[in-house]
Amino acid sequence: MSAELGHIYEDGEVIVRMGEVGNCMHIMQSGEADVLLDAEGKGAPVALLTVGDAFGEMALFTKEPRTATVRARGRARVLTVDKRQFLRRVHEDPSLAFSILLKMSQRIQELDRELARLRPLG
C-alpha cells in the first residue's frame, strides 16, 4: 500500500465520527489520532492510534453506527480500505484477516476486563 494513497488530516480534524454508519476501515500511515467516545470529538481520549493501527474495521462486517470518534493528533496520513479492497487483500494474504481478528479479540478482552472492574461479581 503506497503512502500516496492515504488522505492527510490536519490537527484536530475528525477522521470518523461516532454514530455515523461506516462502510470502510482505516489504517494509520503516519502521525497519530485520538479515539474519543464523543460524537463531537471534544471529549478526553480513551486510546491513541499510531502508525500501522487499523480502526473502523467493524464497519466491514456490520452496518452498525461507529462506536467512537477518531480525531487527528497533529498531521496524520490515513489509508481508507473499503470492503471490496479488504476482501481482495485477504484473498491475496490471509494473514491480514488473522491480524484484524486478533486486534478485535484484544479489544473485546480489554472491554471485558473494564466491565469486570466496573461491575464486580457478588
Domain that includes residue 63, residue range: 3-118
- Confidence at 2, pLDDT banded by 50, 70, 90: very low
Digit-coded pLDDT (tens) for 100-119: 888 888 888 887 887 788 88
Q: What is residue 89's predicted lDDT score, i.e. its pLDDT?
A: 87
Domain with 113 in it: what CATH number?
Answer: 2.60.120.10
Neighbouring C-beta atoms of residue 99, cutoff 10 Å? 12
Contact of 20 with 65, CB cutoff 8 Å: yes
Digit-coded pLDDT (tens) for 34-72: 999 988 877 889 899 999 899 998 888 888 999 999 999
Sign of CA dihedral 52, 107, 98, 16: negative
| Total structural domains within the chain | 1
Q: What is residue 4's predicted lDDT score, i.e. its pLDDT?
A: 60
How many Cα neighbours within 13 Å face the side chain of 51?
A: 5
